[in-house]
């Protein structure tokens, strides 16, 4: 992986956002690989494909690339709120690649979130555009990266340091089983996994997970039986080999991350 961007490629473009898009897409097509299979390249998709920028030629996984000079690890602006929510529900979200570069056109951070790690609770509705806007009333969204469990964040480049490809593919293989869950179940499972990661202990109790009851109820307003749901998801995480039962009401994380 070469961390230098070819800024000269976009000399025909004037707008800084177009320059950034051209340069970063070119870099991605030259340097990114697929974490899901053994393809060592991703292809640039035709420019008119909405919200899809890169495609794995081997397993057909699609990736959306978002690049910027600024790096916000907690949140990233995305497109329309309703289309994002319906994409999550129908399992059609592309995987996300967030890339940050420096003033000197060096790639500094690259974060990849597989498509099956997006949940509705990680999508924040933005305020509708004001009346003076060209698209008045349009509602966009933010992807809250902070609400995605660390297991689903693949750090390909961290502050200019490249992670080994094998390590990234290993991390991907450890979470791949989530893609087999249906989107309505997966949302709950990932939200409980996020709670478990926030507890930040190798061994934890059911009551510690219950302390997220209010937060989880808010994320799933249609569900009144939050505690049984939490227990069910802990069982699911056990089946997915993320944790084991130590004794009643006590769990231990397995070395998945
Ligand atoms: Zn692939």
Residues near 94 by Cβ (< 8 Å), separated by ≥ 6? 51, 52, 62, 63, 64, 115
User: What distance in angstroms lies between residue 179's CA and the mean position of ligand 1's atoms?
Assistant: 14
Classified as helix, coil or strand, 36 is coil
Output the average pLDDT for the chain: 92
Cβ neighbour number for residue 40 with a 10 Å cutoff: 11
Residues near 92 by Cβ (< 8 Å), separated by ≥ 6? none
The pTM assigned to this predicted structure is: 0.91
Cβ neighbour number for residue 149 with a 10 Å cutoff: 23
User: What distance in angstroms lies between residue 62's CA and the mean position of ligand 1's atoms?
Assistant: 9
pLDDT tens per residue, range 194-219: 999 999 999 999 999 999 999 999 98
Q: Which residue segments constitute the domains of the chain, with CATH numbers given?
A: 7-173 (3.40.210.30), 183-253 (1.10.10.10)
User: What distance in angstroms lies between residue 11's CA and the mean position of ligand 1's atoms?
Assistant: 32
Half-sphere exposure of 107 (CA within 13 A, CB side): 29
pLDDT tens per residue, range 125-173: 999 999 999 999 999 999 999 999 999 999 999 999 999 999 999 999 9
Spatial contact of 215 and 144, defined as CB atoms under 8 Å apart: no
pLDDT at residue 193, rounded to an integer: 96
């Amino acid at each position: 992986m070469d961390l230098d961007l070819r800024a000269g490629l976009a000399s025909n473009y004037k707008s800084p956002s177009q320059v950034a898009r051209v340069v970063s897409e070119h870099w991605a097509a030259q340097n990114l690989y697929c974490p899901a299979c053994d393809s060592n390249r991703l292809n640039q998709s035709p420019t008119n494909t909405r919200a899809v920028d890169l495609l794995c030629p081997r397993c057909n996984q699609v990736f959306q690339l978002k690049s910027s000079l600024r790096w916000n690890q907690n949140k990233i602006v995305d497109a329309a709120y309703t289309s994002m929510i319906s994409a999550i529900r129908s399992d059609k979200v592309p995987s996300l690649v967030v890339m940050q570069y420096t003033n000197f056109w060096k790639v500094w951070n690259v974060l990849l979130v597989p498509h099956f790690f997006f949940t509705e609770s990680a999508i924040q509705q933005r305020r509708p555009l004001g009346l003076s806007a060209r698209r008045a009333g349009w509602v966009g969204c933010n992807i809250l990266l902070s609400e995605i469990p660390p297991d689903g964040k693949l750090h390909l480049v961290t502050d200019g340091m490249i992670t080994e490809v094998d390590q990234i593919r290993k991390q991907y293989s450890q979470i791949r089983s989530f893609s087999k869950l249906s989107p309505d179940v997966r949302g709950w499972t990932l939200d409980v996994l996020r709670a478990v990661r926030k507890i930040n202990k190798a061994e934890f109790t059911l009551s510690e997970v219950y302390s997220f009851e209010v937060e989880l109820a808010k994320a799933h307003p249609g569900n009144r039986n939050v505690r049984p749901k939490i227990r069910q998801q802990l069982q699911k995480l056990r089946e997915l080999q993320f944790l084991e039962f130590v004794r009643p009401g006590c769990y231990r994380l397995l070395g998945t991350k």
